[in-house]
Structure 1
Amino acid sequence: MCPANFLWLDFRRNLSTPGLFHLLLPGHDVRNLEHPCDATPYIQACPPYFLCFEFDFPNASDLAVLQQTKRQHPELPLLMITESHSESLAVWAFRSGVWDYLVKPLTAGDLNRRIETLADLCLERPPGDLRLPRHASMPCSVQLETPREISQGHKTLLARQFVESHFAESVRLSVVAMHCHMSESEFSRVFKKEHGHSFCEYLLKFRISKACESLADPSIQVKTVAFDVGFNDVSYFARTFRRYTGATPSSYQQVLAMKIPASFHSLQPAATLSNPI
């Protein structure tokens, strides 16, 4: 069990559904904070050994909190968990001082092992020394083409690969199910069991993430982005984008142009959808 106390900072957009916090084993000495603008008061009240930041697809203000926290408390290791598969976001995270970067989906076993590893490293530090041991170095490279938790045993991995190749096209559940050698009903059941959400949700999330990457270009038109990522209705794209990011595509594009460092061009929002587009 993890005897080191820590803070869990939940920056997910949809807090009505459980995040990864509920997967922590009983006995962890952890406080859960939802969308804190400043973690410093909580850190000062009961100094933690480390911090965990959970995101779905972070926006600029979310990441600003992480950066500010690291600047104010450089001695605290940060564990960042996100649903984004963006390599540029991972590079940004490590450059910002994140100790480790995890991509969802995560199993309870994977999450608790990582928490306990970090806790053990923190507890190994001599009294008064707030640095991690030297062997706790950050990865020098990041591979995010597919989540590290997906193994060859996952029956629906082919579906994710299909979306990566065909997300800009009309993606039909029947075609993807056949690609995975299953009936539609079996595929839907297995995909949700393996990934924690429906295939339709995953498809829309992937498309929105690609849209955010494109919107990092200040010269591209929103209409072009919508069509490029598989939407055939610009108004629906704009409504969906705003619903899950809190901003219109145009304003999001402007924020990226004004506030996001050149080294980071891939802020990606969460989204849901009941039927494929």
Structure 2
Amino acid sequence: MTCSPTAPTSRTWKPVHANNLSRRKKIMNYSFNPPSAGREPRILWVDLTREAGTALVDAIDGAFDVYRVRKLPQVPDAIQIYSPLILCFEFDTPDSAGIEALTRTRRVHPSLPTLMITGCHSEAVAICALRLRVWDLLVKPVSIEALNHQIAALTIVTRQRGSESASEILFPSQGTEDLSALDGHKQQARTFPAIALVAAQFDRKIALEYAAALCRLSASQFCRIFKQEYGVSFGQYLLRYRIDRACERLANSGALAKEVAYSVGFNDHSYFTRAFKRQVGLCPSEYRGAQDSPND
């Protein structure tokens, strides 16, 4: 399957020749047309969505220094010329061409922190993200707040660590066994595969043993380390993640609360209602009503 890019805009990458530096800079500034030369962080966004106006980059455009690429062959030159702090690949459904381009990019630029955004929930996508060692896998619908949080966290980590790449922070050597030798960021790599699993499969049953196996830990080790890293148990994290996704869907769709419950992984509507009220303070119908009411 091949992507069908939409017509380029003023913020879309245009090919430039690298044989003349001054000419390259001139064309780069014209082609990207950034809203603010000093805005941070610099993000290169590989937009592989098929319909105009559906990409998340459209929602954050102007909030960050974002340059968009729509054609895969342009990605290497864009990275060389723009030197982004963060790279993002956004898919509707990942296809072979997009995954191959992401794989090549990770191989050539392993220290470039990369976000992967997809509209497809599948184990294959989650495993792909794990193998490519992306910073995070986000599954649409994704709130702008969640996306901004990821970008801000990634920016802070990369700047604080300096020469140490985000990939090294998240994915320490597989042979490292001594947790006491790892700093806080590196410890997070031990259970990151479980976080990616939740993002990809929160709408399905997720066994703790399976999450532990993805992290190459026993169930007891996984429970202990996950609690150390995130301050909550894996079950609590999964519950909160599902409730957060339910809040987004209640606020942004006309689906019934029961339908929302099933769509985020709850098989028991009564339990969903109780869990939602414990976390949010309102039952689902009250929450939707509050979102629909105009602010005073």
- Quickly name the TM-score band, shorter chain normalised: 0.5 to 0.7
Q: Which of 252, 258, 274 is the matching residue for 1:158?
A: 258
Q: Which residue of 1 aligns with 2:178?
A: none
Answer whether contact 1:12 1:56 (CA < 8 A) is retained: yes
Preserved contact between residue 246 and residue 264 of structure 2 (Cα < 8 Å):
no
- Residue of structure 2 in register with 1:145 after alignment: 202
2:40 match: 3
Partner in structure 2 of residue 110 of structure 1:
146
Query: Which whole-Å CA distance do the structure 2 matches of 1:112 and 1:96 have between them?
Result: 22
What is the deviation of 1:24? 1.5
1:131 offset after TM fit, Å? Answer: 4.6
Q: How does 1:1-277 map to 2 (within 5 A)?
A: 3-14=40-51, 16-24=52-60, 26-126=62-162, 128-131=163-166, 134=169, 135=185, 137-138=188-189, 139-141=192-194, 142-143=197-198, 144-146=201-203, 148=242, 149-151=244-246, 154-155=249-250, 156=255, 158-159=258-259
Q: Which structure has the highest helix share of the two?
A: 2
* CA apart distance, 1:5: 1.2
Which SS does the other structure have where 1:124 is aligned?
helix
Q: SS at 1:105's partner residue?
A: coil
C-alpha contact 2:120 2:139 (8 A) present in aligned 1: yes
Amino acid in the other structure paired with 2:49: R
Q: State the secondary structure of the residue aligned to 1:79.
A: strand
Larger RCO, structure (CA 8 Å, separation 6 or more): 1
1:5 partner letter: R
Q: Is the 8 A contact 1:80 1:100 kept in 2?
A: yes
* CA distance in 2: counterparts of 1:35 and 1:63, whole angstroms: 13
1:139-180 deviations in Å (ceiling 9; x for gaps): 132121328541368543532566799xxxxxxxxxxxxxxx
**Structure 1 residues 52 and 60: CA distance shift in structure 2, 3 A:** same
Task: Report if aligned partners of 1:77, 1:99 keep a CA contact under 8 Å in 2.
Answer: yes
Aligned residue identity for 2:161: R
Letter of the 2:202 partner, please give it: E
Superposition TM-score, scaled by structure 2 size: 0.49
- 2:91/2:117 contact within 8 Å kept: yes
Q: Aligned pair count?
A: 167
Comparing 62-71 and 17-26, the one that deviates more: 17-26
Residue deviations 1:106-154 (CA, integer Å, cap 9, x gap): 111111111111111111122x444557316441321213285413685
Q: Tell whether the 8 Å contact from 2:72 to 2:98 is kept in structure 1 after alignment.
A: no
AA matched with 1:85? H
Structure 1 or 2, whichever has the larger Rg, is 2
Shift of the 17–162 alpha-carbon distance from structure 1 to 2, 3 Å rule, reads: same
Task: State the percentage of identical aligned residues.
Answer: 29
Render the CA deviation track for 1:46-80: whole Å, top value 9, x for unaligned.
21112011111111111111001001111111100
User: Which amino acid counterpart does residue 158 of structure 1 have in structure 2?
Assistant: K
Change (3 A) 1:84 1:36: same
1:89, CA displacement in angstroms? 1.0
Aligned partner letter, 1:140:
P
